Amino acid sequence: MYFRAFFGVPTTLTDAEGQPVNAIRGLLDALALFIERYQPTHLACCWDNAWRPRWRVALVPTYKAHRVAYGEVETVPGELTRQVPIIREALAALGLPVVGADDHEADDVIGTLATTFPGRVDVITGDRDLFQLVRPGVDVLYLARGIRNHERVDDAWLTAKYGITGAGYATMAALRGDPSDGLPGVAGIGEKGAARLVTDYGDLEGILAAATAGRLAPRMTASLEAGIDYLGPAMEVVRVRTDLALNVTPEALRLPSVPADPDAFAALAERHNLGGSAERIIAALAQAGSAT
């Protein structure tokens, strides 16, 4: 979300030292909007402790390889990198919990919380991979068209768009591939073909069984045979973890009605010229607190 804020809000928003604060302000505005609109009782800010986990790279070496600046450092604009510690300070002062897991991405943290939280869950993301979490009680608020124009993705939405439900999304995604993540997919299948295979045969095991039994068109069978060494590892890479030991209780995720450290947040807001963004997030917390 702070990446989206950085690229969606002008870098002309700066603090007294002339440093951009657009990602910070954009993130606070987004959080305020979602809190005001949906009045959650709990909230977790899920973090990439590893943006390119070693175990995923071991499975598919091309995973996010095109985003590497050097070593294992991600290509990120310097104007954004300098704002990330301030984002962490702001979230801590507000009392909004940041949850991460060693050698795992935020997606895996989201997957675990969405699966284990004892109540309704809305996942806020611009990442289609998280469509696999959709089920009764778990929707995705999808940001592809922007924060204010986000779409609520449920099984009905997925069925209308792809002909599948959330349960089949990871299989479709592995077959289709995702160039933005360095996943090539199976050549010759594409999104429509992948969705049709999932609709007809369920999971990867069922699809491969159908190919072995000669129930698929020869061209489709040949594509699957050519991609067989990729498919197993790709499924593990695409599949979001839902079983991490996060050691975080639902009570720890309860949304505060006031900042945890008002003085620290006020000082941060003044130092970095957070202005109306700081006021909006405080007002949103108060409003949600009064509603619950």
For the chain, what are the domain ranges? 1-49+66-99+250-292, 105-243
When computed from its CA atoms, the radius of gyration of the chain, rounded to whole angstroms, is 21
List pLDDT tens digits, range 237-257.
999 999 999 999 999 999 999
Compute the distance between CA of residue 196 and CA of residue 198 in angstroms, rounded to an integer: 5
Among 224, 165, 166, 167, CA closest to 193: 224
CATH tag for 105-243 (out of 3.40.50.11290, 1.10.10.10, 1.10.150.20, 1.10.150.130): 1.10.150.20
List pLDDT tens digits, range 98-126.
999 999 999 999 999 999 999 999 999 99
Identify each DSSP E strand in the chain by its residue range.
45-46, 68-70, 73-74, 98-99, 121-125, 138-142, 151-153
Compute the distance between CA of residue 79 and CA of residue 134 in angstroms, rounded to an integer: 34
Phi, psi dihedral angles at 180 (to 5 degrees): -65, -20
- What pTM does this model have? 0.94
List pLDDT tens digits, range 220-239.
999 999 999 999 999 999 99
What's residue 28's pLDDT?
Answer: 98
- Kindly state the average pLDDT of the residues 246-271: 97
Which comes out higher in pLDDT, residue 290 or 180? Answer: 180
List pLDDT tens digits, range 63-89.
999 888 766 668 889 999 999 999 999
Average pLDDT taken over every residue of the chain: 95
Compute the distance between CA of residue 48 and CA of residue 46 in angstroms, rounded to an integer: 7
Compute the distance between CA of residue 138 and CA of residue 46 in angstroms, rounded to an integer: 16
What's residue 224's pLDDT?
Answer: 97
Q: Is the confidence at residue 44, as pLDDT, over 70?
A: yes
Looking at the chain, the whole-number percentage of residues with pLDDT higher than 90 is 93
Buried b (16+ CB within 10 A) or exposed e, 253-279: bebeeebeeeeebeebbeebbbeebbe
